[in-house]
Amino acid sequence: MKILVTGAAGYIGSMLVPKMLKNGHEVIAVDNFMYNQTSLLDCCGDKKLTVIRGDARDKNLISQWLKKADAIFPLACLTGAPICKDYPLEAKTIIIDAIKMILDLRSKDQIIIFPTTNSGYGIGEKGIFCTEKTPLRPVSLYGKLKVEIENAILAAGNSIALRLATAFGISPRMRLDLLVNDFTYRAVSDRFIVLFEPHFKRNYIHVQDVAKAFFHCLNNFENMKNEAYNVGLSDANLSKWELCEQIKKQLPEFYFVEAKVGEDIDKRDYVVSNEKIEKTGFRPGVSLQDGIAELIKGYQIIKRNQFSNV
């Protein structure tokens, strides 16, 4: 297939594009390289790859390349609550306006597989797993924008929305602001962390398995289309305290303590069921412990000031 990927050099895209090329797909990779990342350099020798340095909001650019695509993976995004809070207008134009433009421009036979977020669940009920039928109650601008555009994409048809858990793991376009990545970095470099509201829970998924989920949707599109699916590790619905305990298994000198004052600005607190996508045959391949081990090795190479979205 010919696949148009916006945000192709980002945290997820830089894992996904090489796998697409390896599996024989042609890829049109659009990215503005706003973080000065060099991901995708190792793919440039592949004749199936086209790299376009440009903005996913550029109608002339997108319309030119969209007509060549069988499938569209709109990954371009200001990802995460902090950056969307700091740049609300930019967040809206990238998350909402750019995707609505694609919906207007595409033909009905072009498929869309879109990464939304399970942060749309906001604050869940204690002990009750959020399913795809659970009401969406996002608490951040990022979550609200993602929920709005997920509704538009599914209403447009011929699409799949993946409600991703919090991603972790090494990627060519690394991010250190993601929770597992951040906590593991602190354990390696500082050996301690002070936790605000450590009982808040969420679900996690390795970035390799996010890419795997996209392939699963592509290969099973007719059976899965026009639905949303939670994508996460079913054995990793963990509080921040429990996550630190998992990290400590590999870094015994890691010390963590609860802050007695202050609060976490990210109020998300929920547990998630991934049963729906698992029933289609999808299974993650990288455990939380394997991801932590990978991160510990990776942090011998990279430092905090190089990689972040904030």
CATH number of the domain residue 93 falls in: 3.40.50.720
Q: What is the pLDDT of residue 309?
A: 63
Q: Is residue 13 part of a domain?
A: yes
Domain count, the chain: 1
Q: Judge if pTM exceeds 0.85.
A: yes
Q: Is residue 192 part of a domain?
A: no
Q: What is the pLDDT of residue 260?
A: 85
Q: Is residue 264 part of a domain?
A: no
Q: Is residue 73 part of a domain?
A: yes
Q: Is residue 254 part of a domain?
A: no
Q: What is the pLDDT of residue 306?
A: 63
Q: Is residue 183 part of a domain?
A: no
Residue range 3-60, pLDDT digits in tens: 999 999 999 999 999 999 999 999 999 999 999 999 999 999 999 999 999 999 999 9
Q: What is the mean pLDDT of residues 216-223?
A: 97
Q: What is the mean pLDDT of the chain?
A: 95
Q: Is residue 199 part of a domain?
A: no
User: What's the domain range around 18?
Assistant: 2-167+204-233
pLDDT over 70 percentage in the chain: 98
In this structure, of 32-36, 261-265, 280-284, the range with the lowest mean pLDDT score is 261-265
Q: Is residue 30 part of a domain?
A: yes
Buried b / exposed e across 145-175, counting CB within 10 Å, b at 16+? bbbbbbeebbebebbbbbbbbbbbbbbbbbb
Residue range 196-208, pLDDT digits in tens: 999 999 999 999 9
Q: What is the mean pLDDT of residues 269-277?
A: 96
